[in-house]
């Protein structure tokens, strides 16, 4: 009986740790992009710099024009992740 409860406890602990790592890495990546943009000199005020919602949710994070441009740059540069420093190069309406 002790072995079965130990296995169950170990499984629950593993699931909690994996869930925590999944959530924390997503959140820190978003903030990291914002920090990179600010460090590069881009005019970044909050999440709405790149997203439509003031506080985008993990499952609902619609991008605005800058956010779409950053995602396109990620694809264009074959990068693994968006680099916030790219925001300073955003052409916007300067065509």
Instruction: Kindly report the three-state secondary structure assignment for every residue of the chain.
Output: CHHHHHHHHHHHHHHHHHHHHHHHHHHHHHHHHHHHHHHHCCCCCCHHHCECCCCCECCECCECHHHHHHHHHHHHCCCCCCCHHHHHHCCCCCC
- Residue 94 inside a domain? The answer is no
Q: Which residues span the domain enclosing 35?
A: 2-89
The model's pLDDT over 75-93, given as tens digits with 9 standing for 90+, comes to: 999 999 999 999 999 998 6
Report the domain count for the chain.
1
pLDDT score for 28: 35
pLDDT score for 25: 38
Least confident range from 13-22, 27-36, 40-49, 54-63: namely 13-22
Summary mean pLDDT of the chain? 79
Give the Cα separation of 42 and 40 in Å (integer).
Answer: 6
- Residue 95 inside a domain? The answer is no
Residue 12 has pLDDT above 90, yes or no: no
Q: Is the pTM of this model over 0.75?
A: no
């Amino acid at each position: 009986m002790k072995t079965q409860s130990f296995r169950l406890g170990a499984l629950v602990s593993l699931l909690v740790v994996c869930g925590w790592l999944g959530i924390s890495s997503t959140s820190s990546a978003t903030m990291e992009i914002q920090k990179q943009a600010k460090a590069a000199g881009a005019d970044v005020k909050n999440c709405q710099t790149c997203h439509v919602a003031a506080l985008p949710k993990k499952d609902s994070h619609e991008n605005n024009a800058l956010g779409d441009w950053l995602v396109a740059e990620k694809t264009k540069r074959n990068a693994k992740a968006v680099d916030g420093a790219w925001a300073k190069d955003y052409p916007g309406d300067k065509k």
